[in-house]
């Protein structure tokens, strides 16, 4: 599978999810993460789709895998915060929420001359 094939698979899975075909989306993302275990985008999509379907344990596993690939990403820290809040761990949710806020500030500072 080439990087272009990977991106197509992620895009197809996202479309499947949007069309209500969750099983197909999860299957495609499973193939993507198996073929490219360091694909942040695949893991993050897997986390978000599982979260949307209230599969919190699976969402957490995928989000943690994405976080290992890119710890300083604003979006994965936000995803982890949302997952932990839903799981009832306010302290962990606040931790990742704070990390997301820090990344947001860093991005804002990069944009200013």
pLDDT in tens, 38-79: 999 999 999 999 999 999 999 999 999 999 999 999 999 999
Q: CATH number for the domain including 78?
A: 1.25.40.10
d(CA 30, CA 89): 27
Q: How many domains does the chain have?
A: 1
pLDDT in tens, 5-32: 999 999 999 999 999 999 999 999 999 9
Nearest to 45 by CA among 19, 4, 84, 14: 14
Token couple for 35: 């073929």
Domain encompassing residue 57:
3-111
- Looking at residue 54, its pLDDT comes to 97
This prediction's pTM: 0.90
């Amino acid at each position: 599978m080439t990087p272009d094939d990977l991106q197509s698979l992620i895009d197809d899975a996202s479309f499947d999810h949007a069309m209500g075909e969750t099983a197909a989306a999860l299957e495609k993302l499973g193939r993507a993460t198996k073929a490219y275990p360091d694909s942040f985008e695949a893991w993050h999509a897997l986390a978000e789709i599982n979260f949307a379907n209230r599969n919190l344990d699976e969402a957490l596993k995928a989000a943690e895998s994405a976080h290992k690939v890119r710890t300083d990403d604003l979006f994965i820290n936000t995803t982890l915060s949302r997952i932990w809040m839903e799981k009832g761990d306010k302290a962990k949710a606040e931790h990742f929420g704070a990390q997301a806020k820090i990344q947001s500030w860093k991005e804002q500072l990069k944009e200013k001359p």
